């Protein structure tokens, strides 16, 4: 079922075009990954969807209803967890949750009950201290509680796991899956591709203000099935010239990590032998070669020319 429909969305800031005829459909019940390099238009799209920004032209519909400025009905449907922490550090967790709940019209007993339930959901129900004493992971979890206190139908999570420990990240990932299983449609942006692989059932990649690819994980990976990727362990990489390798016909990307070289090669041209010869001519000893499985990171790099965390 089409739940959110974005058609022909256009937004510019002076001479800079942030969104250019962006089209996107999100199904009810999705955990929808919205990916793109910095400056690609992700934040602008989210800010227009949440009425923070005005669009220049185009339309956004939720349940076939046009989203308009100061739409109180839309406000009640949406929950927003911003990348920058939106909590008051001189308040307790409960005080924070109740404050944000009141912005959505919750009052009295209902406000306190829903605030406590949101805090319980993120594992902060017994915390009495001021938020400024919290760890980074606890603050992120409180940020989520403040975004879900009014039980939104749609939850937008913008980089919710930036700068936190693995235990808090796992807690947040489990919480997102639980929210979704309870009927919440989720729009998720992140710089961590492994999170997208773990929780998103549909994904759109945005670059230069346009959707350049969309689908589930497997259909996106199928975009580059004509590529082979290899992990090559060598004794030394100091004499390797990246440009010289990319000049070998059929090699379209290369990445270095310690003494490992990750190289993507056109399957039809099969330039692995030429690559091995190049290393041999540089007196570089190959210690191991492994064929690698294509990942969403490979798709992203292939489509945008950049890594997600660049």
What are the DSSP calls for 92-136, one per residue?
BHHHHHHHHHHHTT--HHHHHHHHHHHHHHTT-TT--SBGGGS-H
Q: What is the pLDDT of residue 294?
A: 79
Last residue of a domain, one of 221, 240, 270: 221
User: Which of 170, 194, 221 finishes a domain?
Assistant: 221
Per the DSSP assignment, residues forming a β-bridge with 206 are 211
Distances in whole angstroms, Cα of residue 266 to Cα of each of 39, 126, 263: 29, 56, 10
Q: Is residue 303 part of a domain?
A: no
* Residue 21 falls inside a structural domain: yes
Domain range for residue 259?
226-293
The pLDDT score that the predictor gives to residue 293 is 78
Residue 283's alpha-carbon distances to 16, 237, 257, 278, in angstroms, are: 48, 10, 19, 9
Confidence (pLDDT) at 309 = 61
Q: Residues 62, 140: one domain?
A: yes
For residue 217, being part of any structural domain is answered with yes
And the tokens for 106? 């919750």
166 and 241 share a domain?
A: no
Domain contains 285? yes
* No. of helices (H) and no. of strands (E), the chain: 11, 14
Q: Tell me, yes or no, whether 157 lies in a domain.
A: yes
pLDDT digits (tens, 9 = 90+) for 92-138: 999 999 999 999 888 999 999 999 999 998 888 878 889 999 988 88
CATH of the domain at 274: 3.30.70.980
**Can you tell me the distance from the alpha carbon of 72 to that of 221, in angstroms, rounded to the nearest whole number?**
40
Do 194 and 45 share a domain, yes or no?
yes
One domain for residues 215 and 260:
no
CATH number of the domain that 27 lies in?
3.40.50.300
Q: Write down the pLDDT at residue 100.
A: 92
Task: Tell me: do 138 and 189 sit in the same domain.
Answer: yes
168 and 185, same domain (yes or no): yes
| Phi and psi, residue 282, nearest 5° | -95, 5
Structure-block tokens of residue 217: 């994980």
In this predicted structure, what is the pLDDT of residue 36? 84
Q: Do 231 and 214 reside in the same domain of the chain?
A: no
Q: Are 132 and 207 found together in one domain?
A: yes
Q: Does 304 reside within a domain?
A: no
pTM for this entry: 0.80
Q: Are 98 and 112 in contact (CB under 8 A)?
A: yes
Q: Which of 221, 237, 257 is the last residue of a domain?
A: 221
Q: Are 89 and 156 in the same domain? A: yes
Residue 281 placed within a domain? yes
> Are 86 and 158 part of one and the same domain?
yes
Residues 45, 67 contacting (CB under 8 angstroms): no
What stretches in the chain show pLDDT beneath 50?
Answer: none
Considering the domain architecture, whether residues 74 and 209 belong to the same structural domain is answered as yes
The distance of Cα 121 from the centroid of its chain, to the nearest Å, equals: 22
- Looking at the structure, tell me whether residues 252 and 212 fall in a common domain: no
State the DSSP code for 279.
H
Q: Is residue 245 part of a domain?
A: yes
Strands (E) in 152-247, as ranges, are: 154-158, 185-189, 202-207, 210-215, 227-234
Domain count within the chain = 2
Whether the CA torsion 220, 1, 177, 163 is positive or negative: it is positive
Find all residues with CB under 8 Å of 11, minimum gap 6, and list them: 17, 18, 19, 44, 48, 53, 55, 56, 209
What is residue 84's predicted lDDT score, i.e. its pLDDT? 82
């Amino acid at each position: 079922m089409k739940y959110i429909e974005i058609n022909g969305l256009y937004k510019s800031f002076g001479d800079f075009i942030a969104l250019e005829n962006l089209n996107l459909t999100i199904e009810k019940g999705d955990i929808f990954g919205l990916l793109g390099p910095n400056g690609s238009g992700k934040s602008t799209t989210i800010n227009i969807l949440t009425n923070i920004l005005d669009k220049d032209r185009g339309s956004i519909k939720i349940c076939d209803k046009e989203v308009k400025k100061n739409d109180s009905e839309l406000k009640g449907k949406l929950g927003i967890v911003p990348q920058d922490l939106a909590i008051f550090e001189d308040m307790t967790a409960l005080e924070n949750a109740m404050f944000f709940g009141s912005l959505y019209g919750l009052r009295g007993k209902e406000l306190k009950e829903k605030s406590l339930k949101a805090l319980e959901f993120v594992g902060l129900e017994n915390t009495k201290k001021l938020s400024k004493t919290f760890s980074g992971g606890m603050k992120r979890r409180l940020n989520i509680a403040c975004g879900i206190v009014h039980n939104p139908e749609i939850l937008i999570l913008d980089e919710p796991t930036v700068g936190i420990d693995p235990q808090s990240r796992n807690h947040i990932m489990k919480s997102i899956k639980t929210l979704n299983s309870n009927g919440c449609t989720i729009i998720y942006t992140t710089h961590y591709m492994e999170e997208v692989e773990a929780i998103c059932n549909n994904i759109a990649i945005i670059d230069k203000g346009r959707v350049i690819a969309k689908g589930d994980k497997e259909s996106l990976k199928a975009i580059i099935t004509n590529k082979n990727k290899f992990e090559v362990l060598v004794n030394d990489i100091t004499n390797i010239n990246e440009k010289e390798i990319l000049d070998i016909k059929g090699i379209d990307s290369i990445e270095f990590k310690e003494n490992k070289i990750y190289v993507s090669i056109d399957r039809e041209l099969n330039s692995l032998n030429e690559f091995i010869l190049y290393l041999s001519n540089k007196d570089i000893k190959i210690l191991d070669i492994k064929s690698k499985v294509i990942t969403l990171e490979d798709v992203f790099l292939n489509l945008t020319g950049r890594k997600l965390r660049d």
